[in-house]
Amino acid sequence: MNEVTVMIIDKQAFFRSGVRQALSEQVGFRVLEGAPNDEAMDTIEAESPDVVLLDINFPALGGLELGRKISRRYPNSKVIMLSPNSNDDELFEVIKTGAVAYLNKNTTIEELVSIIRRACLGEYPINDSLITRPTVAEHVLRQFRDIVSAGKVLETVTAPLTYRETQILNYIAQGNSNKQIARILEISEQTIKNHVSSILRKLNANDRAHAVALAMRNGWIPAVVKV
């Protein structure tokens, strides 16, 4: 497995330092610490971490709300929620944020490393939590049934792309290279590449031109006429 970039966002500096030290001793990990304020999103934007370890009691935005924003805006960064007192009600709320895992902050480093690696492989360890907590599983199923019985349409009615992905696709449509887009948006070229990969995957496109054509056809980006 390639090097895994992990970002720790927690209000306690002592906890951040401890986790950073423990993960740094593992092979193949690059560890960052997130600032305990609203700048966390800027750090994620700039660094594009593979995994974000997020304190559920994170101040300012609140862990759940911040986790939801990260999952929606940066789907390539997998969110693992950490809680000092994990419980069924909290797990249910975490599931709704799109987090891939939910762990007690007292978990062992071995388990944490295993969960991080599984998340990087595209797995959802949070499903394990549902298996061991039937009450939460029943709650999730009940909410799903309520949505269906209410006649709500369970489909995406807007572009499946995030705001940043749509922005990048617009620049691609205008003929800009990854390097040029990175310079315009003042973020790394690697971050642009990550976003492009996500765009191609979401649209099931063969290449950049195909992605642009699909987005224009669906009205997600304006048609560009070159002269």
What is the number of alpha carbons within 13 Å of residue 38 lying toward its C-beta?
Answer: 2
Q: Are 89 and 70 in contact (CB under 8 A)?
A: no
CB atoms within 10 A of CB 49: 24
pTM of the predicted structure, to 2 decimals? 0.62
Task: Give the start-to-end residue ranges of the domains of the chain.
Answer: 4-147, 163-217
Model pLDDT for residues 84-103, shown as the tens digit of each residue: 887 777 888 888 888 889 99
Q: How far apart are CA 225 and CA 174, in angstroms?
A: 9
The per-residue pLDDT for range 133-143, each reduced to its tens digit, is 777 666 665 66
The mean pLDDT of the chain is: 81
Q: Which class would CATH give 163-217?
A: mainly alpha
Give residue 45's pLDDT band: very low, low, confident or very high (50, 70, 90). confident
| Assigned token pair, 36 | 């305990």
- Domain 4-147 belongs to what topology? Rossmann fold (3.40.50)
Half-sphere exposure of 109 (CA within 13 A, CB side): 12
